[in-house]
Structure 1
């Protein structure tokens, strides 16, 4: 059986798969679409991250495909109805990168509240901006608002509680009387209540028709003055132009954005000159440790599915 891996994966997991399957591993293949489609002509399995578009054209080129392993949890780059129609299993790495994302949220929140860690060059140059950087804020005693309260949101809440942070959350998929609220020490809120009360707002929802531009000009205006916004979920949930304006006006105290409407982020984008802004290239869930966990999980589950299915 043949397996194609077209984005980066932990070497040990690749080696394990290669011992059992005819494995093509090329982490740059995602950028050469015609070659990728050709390689899939006789492939039984495919392993991707978020950049590979598993759309109808790809599926039509992969007539033997039985399983798609996703090195991550977001599935918006995979045509799920088309996969279901072909009885192709789609396996995400649910939970394996949750700690990496949760730590990113807490770490960037602390950095943005303190406002000092992105200005090392001023101190190094001898200007000594002690007075200007003495108005940073502490995380302790703040309120974290989580929009979406699945596994990553719940782990983020746990880390926040340990640092003396109150946590509120909005998730219409979880009933107000569900046991998880009491168990996690988190209070459920409506979206408007959360925006009005949270010092830090962090997004943990998929990109859907309902969440597209969920955080627009109107939603940003409802946030507390000086609040922090963090997005590790998906680009398109935030109106990036409105966010840039909210930062420049001083209404928001800062933002950390890891995902964007267009990736890579284009030169001259609407966020380029916004203050107290941390921009990262879709890596919140990617650390040395999480890559090992994610890769091992997907290798095991994809191999299990192929072995269970047997020869095509």
Structure 2
């Protein structure tokens, strides 16, 4: 199986590539789509630039589209919002141009998105059929998703994966919090009652592969059509920020006495503070109905994963 990954060097993409290389029975050839061919990469990964993609005759069975600047890495100035949008749309458009041109089409496009699509809806349970509350996070995800869905016009099925907070002890959000928590200044955000919809990185990887195998199996049985499906990549047990804070403290054997009040967070981060103080209770209904079994169903298991 040949897989092309945009954003392959990131927190999720690199771990997914490693897992494909070492934990699947299916031989997989992995290519990372990059703007810099000299970028450090594992020996088993082939590098392809966006310029090379424009004329490449190669065909890929699956394309995984994960490219995009981190939404929570800086305040949402107008310039930052444009960067967040462009960093998602430009790679996606390059992939669409490739799919329109290539003779042998991919069997599946797995395109990244986020649970931000639903907007801030507090404790209301949300699944793939739920509506949204409009805000910047929704508009960003919606624009990205609608562009990716154009792949169906070229006969390529699309799986949209709306990802929650990805938990792993060595990176992502947890990696950013390690220093303050180890220094005993970690604590809850606001009143701590906002819901966090999370998934362990291991389960994200397993779920993505589950989706790929499921869709390719349907294609091999002539059951697949060039349509789209949505999957929430979140654990089945969302938690409050207070529960997460306590779990971090227990894991690191540190007290968690500090609290950052919501007004201070809004002052510090502006519009982006919605990611910190407004909750989303997003459930993985489509995955569960398809028969996926989560390995990490508690935040403690996610923090202790290898």
TM range (shorter): 0.3 to 0.5
Larger radius of gyration: 1
TM-score (norm 2): 0.35
Q: Which has the higher contact order (CA 8 A, sep 6+)?
A: 2
Task: Identify, as 1 or 2, the structure richer in helix.
Answer: 2
